[in-house]
Structure 1
Amino acid sequence: MRRSLGRYELTHELGRGGMGVVWAAHDGEHGREVAVKVLAPRGHAAELTTLERRFLREARLTSRLRHPGIPSVHDHGSHDGELYLVMDLVPGRALDAVLKNDGPLGVAQAADVARRTAGVLAYAHGQGVVHRDLKPSNLMVTPDGGIKVLDFGVAAALEPQPGETQFTAPDATPGTVVYMAPEQAVGRTVPASDLYSLGCVLYELLTGAPPFTDGSPFMLYHRHANEPVPPLADRRPDLPTGLRTLVERLLEKNPEDRPASAAEVAEMLTAWAPRPATASVTAPAHPRLAEIAALRRSGRPARALEEYEELMAAPGLDRAGLLAARAGAALCVGALGRTREALDELRSVLAEQRSLLGPGDPAVLDTRYEIAVLLIRSGERHAAEELLRRLAEEEGRVLPEGDAGRGRSLALLSRLRRMA
C-alpha cells in the first residue's frame, strides 16, 4: 500500500528492525529514489519517548559519517507524529541472503568483503562511532562488488559531540547476540567490539555459520564469553593458515588481545583479498594540496593544519583529494607532537586509499612510508623495520627509475639499523 510522508512517497517495505520499518520511497522534490526509516511506535508513551531519543540520536550520528561504504543521510524529521530518517537507497544483496542462497564464500571473496568492511569501520572509529550491530544482514553487496555497511542505528559515540549523551543504559545490550562481543554483553563497548563481530561475520562467510548459534540469549552470552571458538580447521580445512590465525585473533575474548585497529585488519586482509585495480585515469590533484604541503614542509604545521581543515570543509575535493588532505593534516598533527593521533588517522586513510587507488599507487606508498616514520618516532622500532622492509621491496618493484620515492624506505631502514 502506497502512502506519503511529507514529500516522500513510500512505495514498498524493505525491512524491519528493532527501531522501525525501512521503506523504499520517491523524493518528489529532488526526483530521486531513497530509503526512509520510519520509527515504529510502541504501546507505551514512555517507551515511545525512549525510542524517539534513540532515533534522533541515530540521525545525528549517521549524518556526520561521510564514506562511500556508508549510505548517506539526506534528511530527518517528524511528520504527523512520526519520526523518519532519509538515506541512500542501496541496490544489491544483503550478505545473509547471499549466504542462504549461495553458501559459504571463496577465500578471496570472503577476505575482500571483510577487508572492505574493516575499511568502513576504520573510518567510523576515527569519527568516534562504534557500529555495535555488525552482522551479514547489515552488509550489502552492491552490483559493482562494493560493500555498504548499513544501520549505524545502535552505534554509540566513543566521544559524544557537544549536546550528545551516551544513550544506552548500563544494563542494555543493543546488537545481535550471535555476533556480539563478550564485553558488549555486559555494557562495555569499544572499537575492538566491532572487530569481534567482524570475526564472527568472517567465520560465517568462510563456513556458512557463525561460531555460536545454539541456545537462549543468556546461553549465547555465556558461550561468547567462556567457550573456545569451534576450530575453523574442522569446518573449513582448506583455509590458509594466516587467515585462520587472523579470524582467531579477531575472536579473542579479551578486546586487548584482538588486532589493534580496524585499519590494521584491513591491511592484513589484503594478503588474501583480490587486489583492486588502479584507476586508469586519475583526476588532476587539487592545486591547493601542493601549496599546503609546501607550507607544512617549511616548518609551519599549525598553519598548514588550519588550511587543510579549511580545504576539507569546502566543496571541490574528489575522494582521492580528500584522502590526500586527511593524510597531510595527520602529518601536521604528528609534527605538533600528537604522534599516536597522527598514526591512527594515517592508518584509517591508508585503508581507504588501498580500496580506492590500489596497493601500488604512489599515494598509498607515501602513506605507508609516513606511518613507518611515525612508528620510529613513537619507539615502535620493530614494527617500523618490518614495514620498511616490505615497503622497500614494493617501491623497487612499482616505482620507475628516477622517482623521488624509490629507495627512500631502504635508506631509512639502513639508517635505523646503523643506529642499533
Structure 2
Amino acid sequence: MRRTFGRYELTHELGRGGMGVVWAARDPGDGREVAVKLLAPRGYGCELSTLERRFLREARLTARLSHPGIPEVYDHGSQDGELYLVLERVPGRALDAVLKDEGTLAVERAAAIARSAADVLAYAHGQGVVHRDLKPSNLMITPSGAVKVLDFGVAAALEPNPGETRFTAANATPGTVVYMAPEQAVGKTVPASDLYSLGCVLYELLSGKPPFTDGGVFMLYHQHAHEPVPPLEGLRSGIPPGLRKLVESLLEKEPENRPGTAAQVSALLTAWAPASAATAPAHPRLAEIAALRASGRPAVALEEYRDLLAGCGLGPADVLAARVGAALCEGGLGRTREALHELMSVLAEQRSLLGAAGPGVLDTRYEIAVLLVRAGERHRAGELLRRLADDEERVLAPDDPRRGRSRSLLSRLDRITRP
C-alpha cells in the first residue's frame, strides 16, 4: 500500500471510480487532514501535457469557488504521470451509500438535500462553473446533515475543446450516463444540464431509482433524449403534486424548458424542505450591533462588525448578515460606493445560500436601491425597486412590516424626478 504522495502522507483509500482514486491523507506541514484525489491521464488515452493543461486550468478555476457546500481546494498539480487535487476532507456518507442503506427518503429530507445542492449550483453557475457530473456519489451528507457537492471541475477538465480528441476512456462523454442531460451526451453542456442531473437525483431520492436504468450506454442516451420519464406517482404515493411537477420540469428534454436557474429551483423547493442551517437563529451579537448602528453610531458599529467577522462561531448566513451590516455602516459614514460594491458582492452569495426569494435577499436588494438613490443613480434605483416591489408582495406575509416599502420608496422617487 502506498504511504506517501509528494509531501502528503496517505493513510487509507476512501474510494475509486472511473476518473481516479481518492485517499485520506495528512499534510505534515500543518497537520491538516485532507483528501488527495489522483487521476491517471494515461487511462484516458491522451498525452499528459494536453490533459494536464486543461486539468490545471480547471483546478485553478474551481479553487476560487468559496461556498459552504463546496470542499475547499488546497493544492493541485501533477507528479510522476498523475494529476492530483488536494481537498478538504469531508466527513459523512455519500448520498449513494445513504440510499443503499435507507432506500427512498422522506419527502422533506429529499427536498432539503436537493435544495442544498441547488444552492451550491446557483453559486457555481454564477461563477461561470458547470459541474457536469452531479450524482448521488458526488453529494456528501455530513454528520450535521449538511450537503457538500464534490468533484467540481473534474468532468470539465476531461471535456475536449472542439476538434480535440476526447480524454475519457473509450471516447465516452464526461459525466455519468444515468444522470446525464440529453444535450450533454452530444457534447453541449450548459447550466441547465446540471439541473437535469439534479432532477435525476431528486427522482431517485423519491422513488428509489433514477428515471432510466435499463440497457447499455447508447440505450440510456436514447432514453434520456427521447423516452418519456416514468411518472413518479406510479412508483410512490404521497409525493406532493407540486413537487412531482418540479421534478418533471427539471427532466424536460430541452434545456430551455427547464427552470431558468438553480436559484429558482432552490426557491421552489422551500415549499417542501424543512428549515436549514442557513435559517437557524442568528448570532446574538448581530442584533446588538444592528441596534448600535441604528442609534446613529456607524463608526463604532463598523468596528464591532469587523471584530465579530474576525472571530469564530459565525455560521454562513451570520457571516453574510455581518457583512451587510458592515456595508451599511460604510454607507452611513458617507462611503456610498464602497458600501454598494460590498452589498452587491454579498447579494450574490446570499442568493446562493438563502435562495433567491429569501427575506434577507430582499432586504439587501432594498438597501442597494437606497444607496443607489443616495448616489444619484435614480433611474437604476427605480428599475430595481419596481422588480423588488413585485417580489416583496409575492414573498412577504401580508402583516410583514417590510411589505410595501419598495413601492413607497418608488413612489417618493417618482415624485422627486417628476418634471
Please tell me the TM-score bracket, short chain as reference. Answer: 0.7 to 0.9
Once the two structures are overlaid, the 10-residue window that deviates more, 49-58 or 187-196, is 49-58
Q: Which has the larger radius of gyration?
A: 2
2:383 counterpart (366, 377, 380):
377
Which deviations, in whole Å up to 9, do the C-alpha atoms of 1:307-354 show, x marking residues without a partner?
xxxx9xx9889744457758979xx9xx99xxxxx9999466223135
SS at match of 1:263: helix
Specify whether residues 5 and 216 from structure 1 end up closer, same or farther in structure 2 by C-alpha distance, changes over 3 A only: same
Specify whether residues 80 and 220 from structure 1 end up closer, same or farther in structure 2 by C-alpha distance, changes over 3 A only: closer
Specify whether residues 411 and 155 from structure 1 end up closer, same or farther in structure 2 by C-alpha distance, changes over 3 A only: farther
Specify whether residues 365 and 278 from structure 1 end up closer, same or farther in structure 2 by C-alpha distance, changes over 3 A only: farther
Structure 2: stretches of 5+ with no match in the other structure: 167-172, 297-305, 338-342, 371-379, 414-419
Structure 1: stretches of 5+ with no match in the other structure: 158-164, 295-310, 337-341, 400-404
Give how far 1:73 is off. 0.6
Which deviations, in whole Å up to 9, do the C-alpha atoms of 1:171-198 show, x marking residues without a partner?
8521111111111111111111100110
Could you tell me how far apart the structure 2 residues matched to 1:322 and 1:392 are? Answer: 21
Q: Which residue does 1:216 correspond to in 2?
A: 216
TM-score when normalising by structure 1: 0.74
TM-score when normalising by structure 2: 0.74
Q: Which residue does 2:185 correspond to in 1?
A: 185
1:391 counterpart (389, 395, 411):
395
Cα-Cα RMSD: 4.1
Amino acid at match of 1:351: S
Q: Which residue does 1:95 correspond to in 2?
A: 95
Q: Which residue does 2:405 correspond to in 1?
A: 408
SS at match of 1:213: coil
SS at match of 1:256: helix
In the alignment, structure 1 residue 28 sits paired with structure 2 residue 32: no
Matches within 5 A, 1:2-401: 2-40=2-40, 42=42, 46-156=46-156, 167-169=160-162, 172=166, 173-276=173-276, 277-284=279-286, 319=316, 320-322=318-320, 346=347, 349-353=350-354, 363-367=360-364, 377=383, 385=390, 387-393=391-397, 396-397=399-400
Percent pairwise identity: 63
Give how far 1:392 is off. 3.9
Give how far 1:219 is off. 1.2
Could you tell me how far apart the structure 1 residues matched to 2:186 and 2:44 are? Answer: 26
Query: How many residues matched?
Result: 366
Give how far 1:359 is off. 5.0
Whether the 8 Å contact between 2:112 and 2:274 is mirrored in structure 1 is: yes
Which deviations, in whole Å up to 9, do the C-alpha atoms of 1:130-183 show, x marking residues without a partner?
0000000000000001000000133549xxxxxxx9744568521111111111
SS at match of 2:26: strand
Specify whether residues 107 and 143 from structure 1 end up closer, same or farther in structure 2 by C-alpha distance, changes over 3 A only: same
Give how far 1:380 is off. 8.5
Specify whether residues 241 and 144 from structure 1 end up closer, same or farther in structure 2 by C-alpha distance, changes over 3 A only: same
Once the two structures are overlaid, the 10-residue window that deviates more, 64-73 or 232-241, is 232-241
SS at match of 2:24: strand
Which deviations, in whole Å up to 9, do the C-alpha atoms of 1:328-386 show, x marking residues without a partner?
79xx9xx99xxxxx99994662231359xx956xx3441465799989828986x963x
Could you tell me how far apart the structure 2 residues matched to 1:176 and 1:222 are? Answer: 14
Specify whether residues 138 and 169 from structure 1 end up closer, same or farther in structure 2 by C-alpha distance, changes over 3 A only: farther
Q: Which residue does 1:402 correspond to in 2?
A: none
Could you tell me how far apart the structure 2 residues matched to 1:39 and 1:146 are? Answer: 27
Whether the 8 Å contact between 1:77 and 1:85 is mirrored in structure 2 is: yes
Could you tell me how far apart the structure 2 residues matched to 1:375 and 1:249 are? Answer: 34
Amino acid at match of 2:363: D
Whether the 8 Å contact between 2:10 and 2:26 is mirrored in structure 1 is: yes
